[in-house]
Amino acid sequence: MDKVGCIVVGAGPAGAACAIGLARKGIETVLVERGQYAGAKNVASFILFADILERIIPNYRDEAPLERIASDTGFFALRDGDFMEFRAKSTNYYEKPTMYTAYRSEFDRWFAGKAQEEGVEFVNGMLVTGLLKENGRVVGVKVGDDELLANVVIGADGLHSVVARESGLYTDDTSRYMLGIKEVHDLPSEEIESRFQLRKGEGCIRDGWGYPVSDIGGLSTIYTLNDSITIVLFAPIDTMKEHGVSLRDRLEDYKAHPYIKKYLEGAKLREYEAHLIPEGGRLKLDQMYTDGVLLCGEAGGFNSSMWVGVPPGMLSGLTAAEAVARAKKRGRYDAEALSVYKELLFETNLPRMLFNARKFSDWFVTSARRNMEGFTEGMFDTFIEYVMEEVNFTDPKPAPLMQHAYENLVEPYLPKFLRKPAALLVKLLEKAETWNKMRKIRGAV
């Protein structure tokens, strides 16, 4: 093969979006995928925020292989045998949705096909095993016994990116790794809509915490597709090792909880998937490019467990394409020319997303993992104590919500020297609030 403008390694959403962006800028592009087709290595379902997709394919709603409109969202907390839930639904959002559930295998195949329609050459079933270098600069890739040459190689090849590693850009912090395990369960469409109280074609997404992973700082998700339900558990790998925990065993406990069991009853397991997530992303944007190389998508760290992955991957791919186009105008593809990628990223919200993901990860590592179990118990205790005292009609005084909340949710996490003065302050505030409430009641009834 003659030398081309750009080789994109990996035909997931980030790689396909990048290839589309490059082709539309008139840059000859080859998209290389190790699977027999795009999405062959991504069998499970996912949640799609479609704003970036609409920017790339304005009429995507008419042709993309999407499942349900995710207009019903919520949060839940579990305790052994108990649950709390917050749920929100928007009828207006259902009319012009931007969030869906879908299957990666079907979506990735369709999206890579859109790149081919733009003139991108798609090379499937070919594993990139290394990079070609000339005078220290990357000039192509090794694919088996073959060599493909290009002005720029873009790594969109996932967490364990060959492009990132071979180019010296690979950095990692395994203490931030989370393991996600996912099961897809088949269930008739009508049964899904009945159990989740959904309209035809409407879907729901619910994120949770607590049992059975509160002791290891885990999280969970449940969402619906046309004829299946997906459940997911996430947990930090280092904490699981410390506690000797099998997340697979915890998933069985999760499915047995009454809140989850009622949705899965009678469903048939379709598939199981495990995936590593580099929680927190990267903040060093100058580690996403070097001579002849750019990184996007998960290879560049644009991923987190906080409902993000595909949209920032797509946007980073589009931004990488623009960076290559800018470098082409200058007639050079060294690190200095490609550093425009960093400037272009700051014209999007991706650096903010990375920053927020890192802040969330910092809080999760330093506080949430350690305190999640106690906080969940405290939240349930506060609610139950407050409600039960409020329905004790023989006591004229209102239930001390402020005091319950302080004792269960605040005091355990305060330094010891602050606990007594804080408790005294809360007691005084509670007394003042009680007096004020009783005064209003007397004046109103």
DSSP string, 291-312: TTEEE-GGGGT--BTTTBSHHH
What's the burial of 124, exposed, middle or buried (CB within 10 Å: 0-12/13-18/19+)? middle
What confidence category does residue 280 fall into, taking pLDDT thresholds of 50, 70 and 90? low
Question: What is the count of structural domains for the chain?
Answer: 2
Residue 423 shares a structural domain with residue 275: no
pLDDT at 230: 95
| Mean pLDDT, rounded, for 279-292 | 81
Contact predicate 237/178, CB 8 Å = yes
Residue 39 shares a structural domain with residue 157: yes
Continuous segment of H or E residues that includes residue 147: strand 146-155
User: What sign does the dihedral 399-401-406-408 (CA atoms) show?
Assistant: positive
- Domain annotation covers residue 191: yes
pLDDT at 9: 97
DSSP string, 340-370: HHHHHHTTSSHHHHHHHHHHHHHHIIIIIHH
Residue 68 shares a structural domain with residue 203: yes
What ranges in 25-72 are assigned the alpha helix state H? 51-56, 60-63
pLDDT at 43 over 70: no
- Domain annotation covers residue 402: yes
- Domain annotation covers residue 361: no
Q: Which residue range is the domain that position 137 belongs to?
A: 4-356
Residue 183 shares a structural domain with residue 316: yes
Residue type present at position 295: L
**DSSP 8-state secondary structure symbol assigned to residue 159:** T
Contact predicate 272/249, CB 8 Å = no
Residue (of 141, 142, 229, 236) closest to 189 by Cα position: 229
- Domain annotation covers residue 68: yes
Token reading at 432:
């003042």
| Mean pLDDT, rounded, for 174-190 | 88
pLDDT at 442: 82
CA distance 288 to 155: 9
Residue 299 shares a structural domain with residue 402: no
Report how far apart, in Å, the C-alpha atoms of 381 and of each of 35, 209, 374, 377 are: 50, 16, 10, 6
Report how far apart, in Å, the C-alpha atoms of 113 and of each of 224, 312, 321, 359 are: 26, 20, 18, 37
pLDDT tens readout for residues 79-99: 888 898 888 887 777 677 888
Q: What share of the chain is helix, strand, coil (3-state, %, to 5)?
A: 45, 30, 25
Last residue within a domain, chosen from 301, 326, 356:
356
Continuous segment of H or E residues that includes residue 236: strand 228-236
Last residue within a domain, chosen from 356, 382, 417:
356
Residue 311 shares a structural domain with residue 233: yes
pLDDT at 368 over 70: no
Contact predicate 279/361, CB 8 Å = yes
CA distance 433 to 55: 52
CA distance 114 to 103: 17
Is the bond leading into 212 cis (omega within 30 degrees of zero)? yes
Residue 372 shares a structural domain with residue 348: no
Residue 140 shares a structural domain with residue 40: yes
Residue 341 shares a structural domain with residue 427: no
- Domain annotation covers residue 66: yes
Last residue within a domain, chosen from 328, 356, 384:
356
**DSSP 8-state secondary structure symbol assigned to residue 126:** -
Residue 345 shares a structural domain with residue 409: no
What confidence category does residue 283 fall into, taking pLDDT thresholds of 50, 70 and 90? low
Token reading at 422:
């804080």
If you compute the radius of gyration of the chain from its CA atoms, what whole number of angstroms results?
26
In DSSP terms, 395 is beta-bridged to none
| Mean pLDDT, rounded, for 274-295 | 83
- Domain annotation covers residue 363: no
Question: 177-186 and 268-278: which strand pairing?
Answer: antiparallel
- Domain annotation covers residue 382: yes
Ranges 147-156, 189-198, 356-365, 393-402: which has the least confidence: 356-365
pLDDT at 52: 93
pLDDT tens readout for residues 51-66: 999 999 999 999 999 9
Residue (of 302, 335, 336, 328) closest to 317 by Cα position: 302
What confidence category does residue 284 fall into, taking pLDDT thresholds of 50, 70 and 90? confident
What confidence category does residue 216 fall into, taking pLDDT thresholds of 50, 70 and 90? confident
Q: Report the percentage of the chain scoring pLDDT > 90.
A: 51
CA distance 152 to 141: 10
Residues present in the chain in total? 445
pLDDT at 144: 81
pLDDT at 138 over 70: yes
Side-chain-side CA neighbours of 308 within 13 Å: the count stands at 26
Residue 373 shares a structural domain with residue 352: no
CB count in 10 Å sphere of residue 316 = 32
Residue 280 shares a structural domain with residue 425: no
pLDDT at 152 over 90: yes
CA distance 156 to 41: 14
- Domain annotation covers residue 362: no
What ranges in 78-137 are assigned the alpha helix state H? 91-95, 104-117
**CATH of residue 50:** 3.50.50.60
Residue type present at position 55: R
Most confident of 88-92, 377-381, 419-423: 419-423
